[in-house]
Each structure stands twice: as C-alpha cells, then as structure tokens.
C-alpha cells in the first residue's frame, strides 16, 4: 500500500529528484522502489558487469603499465641510465614468468579493485634478483614490535616491509588497512546494477511494465492464478505476433504499476552513474566513453588533466615505493617513469617536441632517434643550436646583401695601412752648396681579394687604382678550384 502511495506522488513531480535530497542519496533509491534490503550485492565480479567500472579498472592499469620505466644513476654532473640486472628487472621482466608490463598491470589492477597492490622483492645477498606479485586477498598486514610485516597465505610466509612493494589505494587511519574502491563506491555500483537489472527485465518483457488487473476477479487462489496466466499468455502472444492491440475480457482493465522509465529519467540516471564512477577514480568522464558534454576543446583539456592530476600522481607514488624498497634511503640509484610515453600516439606533437629539443641543444640527434628506437648515426652525438641566434645588437644588417661589392668594401674598410716616411737625410755642406730636398713618393699597396664560393670554384677579385692611387673598380675572374 505504501508503494502505491509513492507512485501516486510521482505523478505530481516533474523530476524524481527532491531539491532537498541529492540524486545520489539513498532516498533516491527508495523513491525508485529500490530499498537497501534488496539492493544487489557488490562483489568484484558483479562490479565488473557495470561497463563504466570495468572501463575504469581496465584503462588506468593499462595506462600506468604502458609508461616507460627506467633505472638511473646519479653522477657529479647529471645522471645516466643504469645498466645491468636492475634495469632488466624494472624495464623488461621482473622474473622468469612475468613481463614488466604484465606485472605492473596486475599490480595496478589490484590497487583499483581491491584497494592494494603488493609484490615481493627477491634478493641475492644485497642485490635484487627479481620481483614477484602477491595476491592481496591472501596477504595480511600487521605490526609486530612496532615493525610492519606481511603474512602471506595464512602465515606460511612472513616478509619484512623492506622486502614488499606496497601501493594502497587509500590508507586507513591505522596505517595498515586500505580502503577499496568497491567499498567507497558501493552505493553507486549498487544503483548501476539495480538500474541495469530493471532495464533488462523491462525490455525482456517487451517493454511492458508490471500491470495490475482490475475488475470482477474470480474467487479463490487457483482461479486468480489462472486469470493471471491468461493475461500473461495474451501479452506474450501480442508481443510475439507484433500486434499492438491485446484483447481482454469485458469489464476488466490493465493499469501499469511502478514508475515510467521516461518519467523516472532512467537514461539520465544511468548517464549520471558513469560520472559517479569516473569521480570515484578521479577520471575525466571522456575516458569512460562519456562524450555527452564533450567538445574538441574540453576533451583536449581532459587529456592534459589526466596526465597532470592522475597519472603523474600514481606514477610518483609507485616510483617512491620502488626507490625506497629497492635501493634504500640516500642511494645514488633511482627509478622514474617517462610520461613522454603518453605522446607516442600523437606523431606530430612528438616530432615537433623532438625537433625543438635538438634545435635548442637539449637533445643530440642520436638521443632523439633512440627515443623512437632508431639506430644512431655518425656525427649525431653533438649538441646543435641554430646559428641565427646572436646577442642583441649584433644581428646582421638586412640591407647588406643588396650591394654585390659590399664584402670587398668591408674588407677595405677593415684594412689598416701604416705608412711611415723615412727620416730626412742629414748632409754636411756649407752655405754655398745648393741642396734640393729628397724626392719621396708613396705608392698605395695593390690589393687582391679572393672570394671562395662553394660549388662554384674560386672567383678572383682585383682592385684597380688610377694614377692618383684612387680605387676605381674591381676586376673579377674565375680560376680553377685547385
């Protein structure tokens, strides 16, 4: 009877959302006729049947596992990529059974489903020999004498914290337990499952909602059951034959019971659940294939948001955990993701970035080629920079190239000829001797200017002077390049 009253009230509302109650509140479930007592139980298997949740816990682990991960060694001047076993373990295969991508994807999948990813570090003395993933459901984290330990497979094996890579989704206040996204988002997942079940049953019944038969009903339970069977048989026959009209006995009426999916905004509610699940993981909705509000501009911004505010944070958490457990505090070795790996699908942007790195002496040509797994070339290990970059005030004159003799004129202006007159001769004579001053003549030097031009041999330019030793012109002639 209470349900009938709720239905009657629903006919007076333009929206199932009470302005005083959020749409995601438990009251909204009750309004739809979904009580807490009969909500679907959320398990990992049932949660994975919700497409938005399955997309989230598939996309995030694959994206983080796809990032290039390398080990580096600090040097007095810069860093260099580490070589040997540790680089092979981190970047290629942590053990003989797992690839680096598969291990990291499994690790992140446990983080985003059960709330924790754990892996055991195998050591040979002080050297790391391998990394093995552990099942978090079989791992118990506890403190003994103030130290954290990990009991695996029912206390059969106990590991110290220094030998376990542990990445929680969200730590509890005791610093041991971790919250699971399944628990944090259980209401959103239950609502998604309930709406999915309702929609399946609705369309499986031919789009016919539950009906109430009213009229002179037969007496007795058996007669009532036969009447219900007759009505059900008539509805099924009409659906099977594609007939829009179904006959019923005179004096009887069929009335729908429950909420009309259109009035209950079922489509909008299911779309809202995609946004709720995206909010649970901090994902932009576009990565759960929700483009209902997507435009070219904001989709690109969501792509940047993903890297800056989600992938980079989880990558940093994983790097710090690896650095602490593999190398200890204060080590000269460390591991780091390359977020440039997310640009591998954008060929133009990647090529533009590499070109700028080479032109500004940030990368050598061979370093840029190595990022695309291309073989290095001879002479490609030198840093290059554009020669047009000069200090302010020293840029070339834009009009200097219009005069064909400008280079010669500049050479002559730069030439300094120092001519010193010889000292006057001293002659001892008496006053009756007629002495004439010495005749001194100065001859200007003859200048030959050769301009070597590539692929055109040698052009010989000779300056010509008149009788007064003034420059009157130039004579050009080509000579052999030899």
Between residues 220 and 2, which one has the greater pLDDT? Answer: 220
Please state, in angstroms and rounded to a whole number, the distance separating the CA atoms of residues 426 and 439: 14
Please state, in angstroms and rounded to a whole number, the distance separating the CA atoms of residues 242 and 256: 20
Sequence-distant (6+) residues with CB within 8 A of 242 are none
pTM confidence score: 0.65
* Alpha-carbon torsion (285, 288, 292, 296), positive or negative: positive
Please state, in angstroms and rounded to a whole number, the distance separating the CA atoms of residues 275 and 288: 9
Rounded to an integer, the average pLDDT of 337-358 is: 80
Per-residue CA distances from 218 to 1, 86, 155, 255, 400 (Å): 22, 82, 66, 18, 111
Point out the least confidently predicted range of 67-76, 340-349, 437-446: 437-446
Which tokens sit at 362?
């940030």
What is the Cα gyration radius of the chain?
43
Q: Is residue 148 classed exposed, middle or buried when 0-12, 13-18 and 19+ CB atoms within 10 A define those classes?
A: middle
- Tens of pLDDT along 11-52? 344 444 444 444 454 555 555 555 555 678 899 999 999 999
Task: List the chain domain ranges.
Answer: 218-250, 448-482
Rounded to an integer, the average pLDDT of 409-416 is: 58
CB 91, CB 68: distance < 8 Å: yes
**What pLDDT, on the 0 to 100 scale, is given for residue 20?**
47
Per-residue confidence band for 10, with pLDDT thresholds at 50, 70 and 90: very low
Per-residue confidence band for 303, with pLDDT thresholds at 50, 70 and 90: confident
Rounded to an integer, the average pLDDT of 285-307 is: 82
**What pLDDT, on the 0 to 100 scale, is given for residue 142?**
94
Q: What dihedral do alpha carbons 170, 111, 287, 193 form, nearest 10°? A: -90
Q: Name the residue among 198, 184, 204, 210 with its Cα closest to residue 267.
A: 198
**What pLDDT, on the 0 to 100 scale, is given for residue 212?**
72
**What pLDDT, on the 0 to 100 scale, is given for residue 72?**
94
């Amino acid at each position: 009877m209470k349900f009938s009253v709720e239905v009657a009230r629903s006919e007076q509302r333009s929206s199932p959302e009470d302005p005083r109650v959020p749409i995601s509140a438990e009251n909204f479930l009750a309004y739809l006729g979904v009580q807490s007592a009969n909500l679907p139980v959320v398990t990992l298997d049932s949660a994975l049947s919700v497409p938005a949740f399955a997309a989230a816990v598939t996309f995030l682990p694959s994206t983080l596992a796809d990032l290039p991960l390398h080990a580096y060694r600090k040097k007095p001047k810069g860093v260099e990529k580490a070589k040997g076993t540790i680089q092979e373990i981190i970047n290629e295969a942590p053990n003989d059974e797992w690839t680096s991508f598969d291990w990291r994807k499994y690790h992140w999948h446990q983080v985003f489903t059960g709330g924790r990813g754990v892996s055991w570090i195998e050591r040979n003395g002080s050297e790391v020999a391998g990394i093995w993933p552990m099942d978090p459901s079989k791992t118990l984290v506890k403190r003994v004498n103030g130290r954290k330990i990990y009991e695996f497979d029912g206390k059969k094996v106990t590991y110290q914290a220094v030998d376990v890579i542990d990445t929680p989704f969200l730590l509890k206040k005791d610093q041991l337990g971790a919250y699971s996204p399944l628990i944090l988002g259980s209401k959103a997942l239950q609502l998604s499952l309930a709406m999915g079940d309702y929609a399946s049953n609705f369309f499986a019944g031919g789009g016919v909602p539950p009906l109430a038969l009213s009229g002179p009903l037969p007496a007795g339970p058996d007669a009532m059951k036969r009447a219900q069977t007759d009505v059900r048989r008539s509805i099924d026959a009409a659906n099977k034959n594609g007939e829009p009209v179904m006959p019923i006995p005179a004096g009887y009426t069929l009335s729908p019971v429950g909420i009309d999916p259109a009035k209950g905004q079922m489509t909008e509610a299911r779309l809202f659940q995609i946004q709720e699940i995206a909010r649970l993981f901090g994902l932009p909705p576009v990565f759960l294939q929700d483009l209902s509000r997507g435009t070219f501009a904001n989709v690109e911004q969501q792509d940047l948001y993903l890297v800056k505010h989600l992938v980079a944070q989880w990558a940093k958490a994983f790097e710090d955990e690896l650095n602490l457990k593999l190398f200890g505090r204060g080590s000269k070795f460390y591991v780091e993701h390359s977020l440039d790996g997310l640009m591998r699908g954008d060929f133009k942007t990647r090529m533009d970035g590499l070109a700028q790195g080479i032109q500004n002496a940030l990368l050598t040509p061979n370093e840029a080629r190595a990022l695309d797994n291309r073989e290095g070339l001879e002479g490609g290990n030198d840093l290059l920079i554009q020669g047009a970059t000069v200090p302010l005030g020293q840029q070339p004159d834009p009009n200097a190239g219009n005069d064909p003799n400008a280079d010669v004129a500049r050479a002559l202006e730069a030439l300094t000829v120092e001519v010193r007159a010889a000292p006057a001769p001293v002659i001892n004579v008496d006053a009756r001797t007629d002495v004439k001053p010495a005749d001194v003549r100065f001859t200007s030097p003859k200048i030959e200017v050769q301009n070597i031009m590539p692929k055109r041999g040698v052009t010989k330019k000779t300056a010509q002077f008149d009788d007064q030793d003034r420059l009157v012109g130039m004579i050009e002639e080509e000579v052999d390049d030899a």
